[in-house]
């Protein structure tokens, strides 16, 4: 019986790659209709490969958001880039996102891989809300000369322009097959991970320069009851001076982060949230492989 049900069922991996800040996570969220992956105006917001799962009776699309492509400068970034290289192995469709104003692509190694991929390649030119129509047309013309075998989608992930067209083409091109995840599952990540990311998003938004990049958030305890989720989270910085900045004068800065995080988490989990945080130092964690493993970077 199950066999006949899945004969008409489609499922596939759609892996999203691109440089930092082009809108990969924004695209994932708009395709899912859920704020799964954090978005900020800073580069290197996403640090892990994150699956967002779009389910319907007839299909399951597993979108993979990935960290922005960069030349790694320290072990954390090396691990971030390792998680990107996996996208070429399991994709049914690859989405390469560019900013509509980009004139070139700086990652020649990836560019070579892209020209050789066997699965369909969708080239998404994002942020069309920021330019005139002529720029959109000239950008499509320029990229279609550089990349031969791609389908082109000028979109605005932020303003939800042409996203339905993109989704229709994705559904058309993914293969028939059984679902990879439970049909009620929204992501491969745990609730703890979502909490850690939402707090990190507020830290990226509230602090400048190197401070937010020195931070790792770890949920120490997550207890859910009928009408409340109680969360204790640890915020690690690399140095004592960074810890003091995160806390701020009279703890005002960390209080703001907590309030914003709690409100966002209440929206996401649709439940009242109690959130307590403590800031600690984990000396040089971004360069320490053992600490990186403990923090979940494999």
List interacting residues with ligand GTP (CB under 6 A): 18, 20-26, 39-41, 43-46, 67-68, 126-127, 129-130, 156-158
User: Does 126 contact Mg ion by CB under 5 A?
Assistant: no
Per-residue DSSP letter, 175 = P
Nearer to ligand GTP, 140 or 281 (CB): 140
Q: Residue 46, interface with Mg ion (CB under 5 A)?
A: yes
Residue placing its CB nearer to ligand GTP in the complex, 36 or 229: 36
State which of residues 25, 187, 214, 237 lies at the interface with Mg ion (CB under 5 A).
25
Distances (CA, A) of 264 to 38, 87, 199, 208, 267: 11, 30, 9, 21, 5
Report whether 123 contacts 98 (CB < 8 A): yes
* 59 interacts with, out of Mg ion, ligand GTP, none, CB within 5 to 8 A per kind: none
Q: Shortest gap between Cβ of 17 and Mg ion (angstroms)?
A: 11
Handedness of CA 262, 267, 269, 270 (dihedral sign): positive
Minimum CB separation of residue 42 from ligand GTP in Å reads: 7
Nearer to ligand GTP, 157 or 265 (CB): 157
Find which of ligand GTP, Mg ion, none residue 154 binds, CB within 5 to 8 Å per kind.
none
Give the whole-angstrom CA distance, residue 277 versus residue 234. Answer: 6
Quick one: tokens of 147?
A: 């990349």
Nearer to Mg ion among residue 10 and residue 24 (C-beta): 24
Q: Which stretch binds Mg ion (CB under 5 A): 42-50, 70-78, 96-104, 109-117?
A: 42-50
Spatial distance between the Cα atoms of 280 and 235, rounded to a whole number of angstroms: 6
203 half-sphere exposure, CB direction, 13 A CA radius: 28
Distance CA 131, CA 7 (A): 44
Contact footprint for Mg ion (CB under 5 A): 24-25, 45-46
């Amino acid at each position: 019986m199950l066999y006949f049900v899945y004969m008409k069922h489609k499922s596939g991996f759609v892996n999203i790659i691109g440089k930092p800040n082009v809108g990969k996570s924004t695209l994932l969220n708009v395709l899912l209709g859920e704020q799964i992956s954090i978005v900020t105006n800073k580069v290197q917001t996403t640090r892990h490969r994150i699956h967002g799962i779009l389910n319907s009776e007839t299909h399951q699309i597993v979108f993979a958001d990935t960290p922005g492509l960069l030349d790694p400068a320290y072990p954390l970034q090396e691990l971030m880039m390792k998680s990107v290289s996996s996208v070429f192995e399991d994709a049914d469709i690859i989405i390469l996102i560019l900013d509509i104003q980009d004139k070139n692509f700086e990652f020649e190694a990836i560019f070579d891989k892209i020209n050789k991929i066997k699965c369909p390649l969708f080239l998404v030119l994002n942020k069309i809300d920021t330019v005139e129509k002529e720029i959109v047309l000239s950008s499509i013309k320029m990229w279609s000369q550089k990349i031969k075998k791609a389908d082109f989608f000028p979109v605005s992930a932020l303003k939800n322009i042409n996203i339905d067209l993109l989704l229709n083409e994705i559904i058309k091109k993914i293969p028939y097959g059984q679902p990879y995840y439970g049909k009620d599952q929204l992501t491969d990540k745990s609730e703890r991970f979502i909490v850690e990311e939402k707090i990190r998003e507020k830290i990226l938004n509230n602090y400048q320069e190197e401070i937010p990049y020195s931070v790792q958030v770890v949920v120490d305890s997550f207890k859910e009851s009928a009408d409340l989720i109680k969360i204790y989270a640890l915020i690690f910085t690399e140095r004592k001076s960074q810890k003091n900045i995160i806390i701020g004068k009279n703890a005002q800065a960390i209080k703001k982060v907590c309030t914003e995080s709690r409100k966002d988490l209440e929206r996401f989990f649709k439940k009242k949230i109690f959130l307590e945080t403590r800031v600690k130092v984990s000396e040089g964690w971004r360069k320490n492989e053992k600490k990186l493993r403990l923090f979940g970077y494999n």
